[in-house]
Amino acid sequence: MENRRPHMKPRIFSGMQPTGALHIGNYLGALRNWAEIQYDYEPIFCIVDQHAITVPQDPKALRESCEQVAALYLAAGLDPKQSAVFVQSQIPAHVELAWIFTCTVPFGWLNRMTQFKAKALEADASQDSVGTGLFLYPVLMAADILLYQAKAVPVGDDQSQHMELTRNIAQRFNKLYGKTFIVPETKLPTVGARIMGLDDPTKKMSKSTDSPNHSISLLDPPGRVKKLIGRAVTDSQPAVNWAEPGAGVANLLTIFQAFSDWTDSQMQSHFAGMRYGALKSEVSEMISAKLEPIQRRYNELMDDRTHLRAVLRDSAERVAPIAAETVRRAKERTGLYSA
Ligand code: TRP
């Protein structure tokens, strides 16, 4: 596969679930980076709605959320002429390959995945209401990536166990049936800043937290940004201790620096010794100033659904032949029937 496209840029694949609003952690940690690197690769960016239904979803909200996330991908700078942007369930090959992998991957490998254990126990200790899809989640993720023979996957380090499993599945299939899949590199193209929760700066900012003061949505208006940053956890010192900032203050500085692209020395001379009240108003103003153009573009995109849907459809049509070819080979190798 690689050798047949020597003149081409390496293909990358990544995705996010269409659940809850994307927040500044998703933007600074991933989306913005995707937009920056897209021209150096052959990029495929997916909205993984089949992963979303591994836990209960409201059907109407889920469908709307797919288009919202698509609009945010584009508003954040993904260029649909360069990057394929589509929804997972537009291409049935994802689940076809996932079933083949389900039958290839040992039960014990999945049983050892820590994310399943954490999520399943959180949902229901007896596991009688935990969908089997949650257990198979990493297999579907492996199918997403291997389906397109991606060379690398720009995701955060919280996904490294899933990436390792993906590599193991590719290697196992290749060993059992002959070389079929590119084993994606573990080295990821640069991922962005790691933003922590505003209410708890020891935990990475996440979409699946109930706390209302945890994250800032990419769609939050300035008044709300101000309120949330105002409530962000700091510490008992009055002003920025540059040498040893507490975790909450360090997180606010990281957010400011990521949005502003200031150098360390600019940051230091501006913020060292600044009182927390002043720090917080500077951080919230910076956030809102940078979100404003994204929100404007998002609203334009959401107001023209015909265009948005055409982007998703065109992207899906563009990548579907790659997926179909992989599934064809995987079926042939495993002996599945097609006439
Ligand atoms: N598991 C990823 C997350 O929670 C989402 C995802 C699904 C994904 N399939 C993928 C990411 C394929 C990268 C590649 O963030």
In the three-class reduction of DSSP (H, G, I as helix; E, B as strand; rest coil), residue 302 is classed as helix
Claim to verify: residue 250 and residue 317 sit in the same structural domain? no
Residue 285 lies in a domain: yes
Q: What is the DSSP string of 245-262?
A: --HHHHHHHHHHHHHH--
Claim to verify: residue 128 and residue 244 sit in the same structural domain? no
Q: Which residues of the chain have pLDDT under 70?
A: 1-7, 123-126
Residue 34 lies in a domain: yes
Claim to verify: residue 118 and residue 56 sit in the same structural domain? yes
Ligand 1 pocket, residue 30 CB under 6 Å? no
User: Which residue's alpha carbon is at the smallest distance from atom 9 of ligand 1?
Assistant: 141
Residue 200 lies in a domain: no
Residue 113 lies in a domain: yes
Residues in the chain: 339
- The pLDDT value recorded for residue 125 is 65
Claim to verify: residue 123 and residue 35 sit in the same structural domain? yes
- The pLDDT value recorded for residue 306 is 98
Claim to verify: residue 36 and residue 159 sit in the same structural domain? yes
Spatial distance between the Cα atoms of 295 and 306, rounded to a whole number of angstroms: 19
Residue 122 lies in a domain: yes
- The pLDDT value recorded for residue 138 is 97
Can you tell me which atom of ligand 1 is nearest the CA of 51? 7
Characterize the bridge pairing of strands 84-87 and 42-47.
parallel
Residue 151 lies in a domain: yes
Residues 111-161: tens digit of each pLDDT: 999 888 777 777 666 677 788 999 999 999 999 999 999 999 998 888 999
- Spacing, Cα 208 to ligand 1 middle (Å): 14
With the most atoms of ligand 1 within 8 angstroms of its CB, the residue from 144, 188, 194, 207 to mutate is 144
Selection from 145, 101, 115 nearest residue 54 by Cα: 115
Claim to verify: residue 24 and residue 147 sit in the same structural domain? yes
Claim to verify: residue 254 and residue 293 sit in the same structural domain? yes
Residue 203 lies in a domain: no
**Residue 5 in tokens:** 């496209």
> For residue 260, what is the domain's CATH number?
1.10.240.10
- The pLDDT value recorded for residue 266 is 97
Residue 156 lies in a domain: yes
- The pLDDT value recorded for residue 116 is 81
User: Which residue's alpha carbon is at the smallest distance from atom 13 of ligand 1?
Assistant: 14
Claim to verify: residue 100 and residue 179 sit in the same structural domain? yes
**pTM of this structure:** 0.93
Spatial distance between the Cα atoms of 75 and 69, rounded to a whole number of angstroms: 10
Claim to verify: residue 17 and residue 40 sit in the same structural domain? yes
> For residue 109, what is the domain's CATH number?
3.40.50.620
Ligand 1 pocket, residue 311 CB under 6 Å? no
Question: What's the total number of domains in the chain?
Answer: 2
Q: Name the strand (E) or helix (H) holding 304.
A: none
**Residue 259 in tokens:** 């949005």
Ligand 1 pocket, residue 170 CB under 6 Å? no
Claim to verify: residue 174 and residue 237 sit in the same structural domain? no
Claim to verify: residue 24 and residue 79 sit in the same structural domain? yes
Segments forming the whole domain that contains residue 75:
11-187+305-334
Claim to verify: residue 51 and residue 134 sit in the same structural domain? yes
Spatial distance between the Cα atoms of 339 and 336, rounded to a whole number of angstroms: 10
